[in-house]
């Protein structure tokens, strides 16, 4: 009896959260959006690791996305 109740509760939770998934971004949504420049952050962090230094980000380097 407990298994059936648990399974029903899990299925209800899955169905309810499935409706909350965000829509995929379109080109219009992405174009001009300002995000953290992950590539530049990775380069700085790798360089710091090679030199045994620590990096603490207060503000990430920013990049503007352009849709093609």
Residues 6+ apart with CB under 8 A from 44: 55
- Domain boundaries along the sequence of the chain: 25-68
The residue to which tokens 């059936």 are assigned: 4
C-alpha to C-alpha distance for 48 and 52, rounded to whole angstroms: 6
C-alpha to C-alpha distance for 28 and 20, rounded to whole angstroms: 22
Q: Which two tokens stand for residue 62?
A: 């920013």
C-alpha to C-alpha distance for 19 and 61, rounded to whole angstroms: 34
Q: How confident is the model at residue 52 (pLDDT cuts 50, 70, 90)?
A: very high
Residues 12-47: tens digit of each pLDDT:
887 877 777 777 777 777 778 888 999 999 999 999
């Amino acid at each position: 009896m407990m298994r059936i109740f648990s399974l029903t509760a899990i299925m209800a939770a899955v169905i309810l959260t499935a409706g909350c998934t965000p829509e995929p971004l379109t080109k219009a949504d992405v174009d001009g959006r300002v995000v953290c420049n992950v590539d530049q952050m990775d380069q700085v962090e790798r360089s710091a690791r090679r030199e045994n230094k620590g990096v603490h980000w207060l503000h990430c380097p920013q990049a503007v996305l352009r849709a093609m």
